[in-house]
Amino acid sequence: MTVFEREAKVIMQTYRRVPVEFERGAGSWLYDPDDNAYLDCLTGLAVASLGHAHEAIAEAVSEQIRKLVHVSNLYYTQPQIELAERLVDLSCMDRVFFSNDGATANEAAIKLARRWGQRHRGPECYEVVTLDESFHGRTLATLAATGQPAKQATFEPLPSGFRQVPGGDLGAMLEALGAKTAAVMVETIQGEGGVVPFDASYLQSIRQICDQYGVLLIVDDVQAGIGRTGSWFSWQQLGFEPDIATVAKALANGLPIGACLAKERAAEAFDYGDHATTFGGGPVVARAALAVLHEIERGSILKNVRERSDQLGSGLGRIPGVETVRGRGLLLAAVLDRPIAAAVAERALHYGLLVNAVRPNAVRFAPALNISTEEVDEALDRFGRAFPV
Ligand SMILES: *Cc1c(COP(=O)(O)O)cnc(C)c1O
């Protein structure tokens, strides 16, 4: 039996997988069992941001895994504290809560916002306003926050206390805010929503509105954070700061970790016992994340993101059939002139290039942040060959 047939028997059928099995990786390349090479321009959805089987991260993890794997958050461990210090330094936030992935980072952010609302604005202040087409996770609360009715419909009733407004519409945002509002939560680029970036001016206006109404601003930087857009955190090039921010995907280059960061005025709302998780910030994932942050700095990776972004973006724009390119840094979508993204992505796979159809007419690129000039040229060449379908 093939692995495809075995999967069909024993795995709950929630994933519509691409029929390819990967056995090993090296940098921007993945290999199937027959040793065919694939240029990975998705990195497990913006996760393996420094490429596969990164030596420095493997070293840090294997050293730590032999020393101490887990003790629980009843006790202190150095890697967790050191990682929090690094994240605080890089983000200008004040405190960190470690979770295990993006959804649980957002759960922490939502719980913190509710706690803050209760304390500062009264027991009826718990609502979180989010945007249409947003994506915040698959747990019940983060699904309720997610502005995609198709994903929500089959799981009603969802937790209450969430309200969606159209992205880019400040009037609708103003109308949604009231005495019940604890926070507004946004992505600076809607990744799952089709790689749709919001203007700096729109995001700055949301910041002003939040200040005016005295509510918190949460940035979900789970996909766009940790260097993906060319700055450590996506808001750092957009002229505003959130009160709470979440990161996850790329933080440990493939090991599961999430973090909710907050300014002191929000973070102080959590008391002993208000929130907890068994695995959050364990020594192994914390060491991996420290290695990631160190490598991004040591390798001048943010500069590479900006340069490769220009190269990839302008190259994609020159391919006939590509109408425009949107996104920031190395989170880009080629918007096609026809709704053939799925077919193009399938042909790209045939030519050994991994990308995905994030919308019927948009193909997402989220390559490794340390991808080389030659590899971007190779990706453009392979993607060009995927046209016409
Ligand atoms: C992926 C993603 C999440 C959910 O992260 P998981 O680790 O899959 O729970 C939340 N928000 C955004 C913006 C994401 O891209």
- DSSP line for 171-210: HHHHHH-STTEEEEEE-SEETTTTSEEPPHHHHHHHHHHH
Name the nearest CA neighbour of 203 among 247, 168, 165. Answer: 168
**In this predicted structure, what is the pLDDT of residue 254?**
98
Q: Which atom of ligand 1 is nearest to the CA of 221?
A: 13
Catalytic residues: 135, 220, 249
* Token code pair at residue 66: 């032999």
293-323 confidence digits (pLDDT tens):
999 999 999 999 999 999 999 999 999 999 9
Task: Identify the CA nearest to 385 among candidates 362, 355, 360.
Answer: 355
pLDDT < 70 stretches in the chain: 389
Residue 276 is given by DSSP the state -
Q: What is the DSSP letter of 253?
A: B
133 lines ligand 1 (CB under 6 A): no
Q: Please report the pLDDT score of residue 388 as a whole number.
A: 77
Cβ of residue 185 lying under 6 Å from some atom of ligand 1: no
101 CA to centre of ligand 1 in angstroms: 7
Q: Under a CB-based contact definition with an 8 Å cutoff, are residues 136 and 298 in contact? A: no
Give the tokens for residue 322: 């590509």
- Taking the CA of residue 249 as reference, the ligand 1 atom at the shortest distance is 7
What contacts 360, CB < 8 A, 6 or more positions away?
A: 339, 341, 342
Is the minimum distance from the CB of 103 to ligand 1 under 6 angstroms?
A: yes
Q: What is the pLDDT of residue 389?
A: 64
Beta-carbon neighbour count of residue 208 at 10 Å?
A: 12
Q: Is 368 in the pocket of ligand 1 (CB under 6 A)?
A: no
Report whether residue 295 contacts ligand 1, using a CB cutoff of 6 Å: no
Is the C-beta atom of 187 inside 6 A of ligand 1?
yes
Closest C-alpha residue for ligand 1 atom 10:
136
Alpha-carbon separation of residue 61 from 47, 53, 101, 250, 294 (angstroms) = 16, 11, 18, 15, 14
The number of angstroms, rounded, from the C-alpha of 137 to the middle of its chain's C-alpha atoms is 10
Number of H helices, E strands in the chain: 14, 17
Q: Which of 14, 192, 195, 246 to probe ligand 1 with, by most ligand atoms within 8 A of CB?
A: 192
CA of 61 to the centre of ligand 1 (A): 23
Q: In the numeric block, which tokens belong to residue 340? A: 């053939």
| Span from the CA of 43 to the centroid of ligand 1 (angstroms) | 14
- Which amino acid, 369? L
Determine the pLDDT at residue 245. 98
- Is the link from the previous residue into 388 a cis peptide, with omega within 30 of 0? yes
CA-based nearest residue to 263, from 82, 95, 84: 95
Out of 45, 128, 135, 234, give the residue to mutate to test ligand 1, the one with the largest number of ligand atoms within 8 Å of its CB. Answer: 135
Give the closest residue (by CA) to ligand 1 atom 11.
136
Q: Among 171, 153, 155, 172, which Cα is nearest to 163's?
A: 172
Query: Measuring CA to CA, which residue among 232, 259, 300, 253 is closest to residue 60?
Result: 253
Asked if 230 contacts 332 with a C-beta cutoff of 8 angstroms, the reply is no
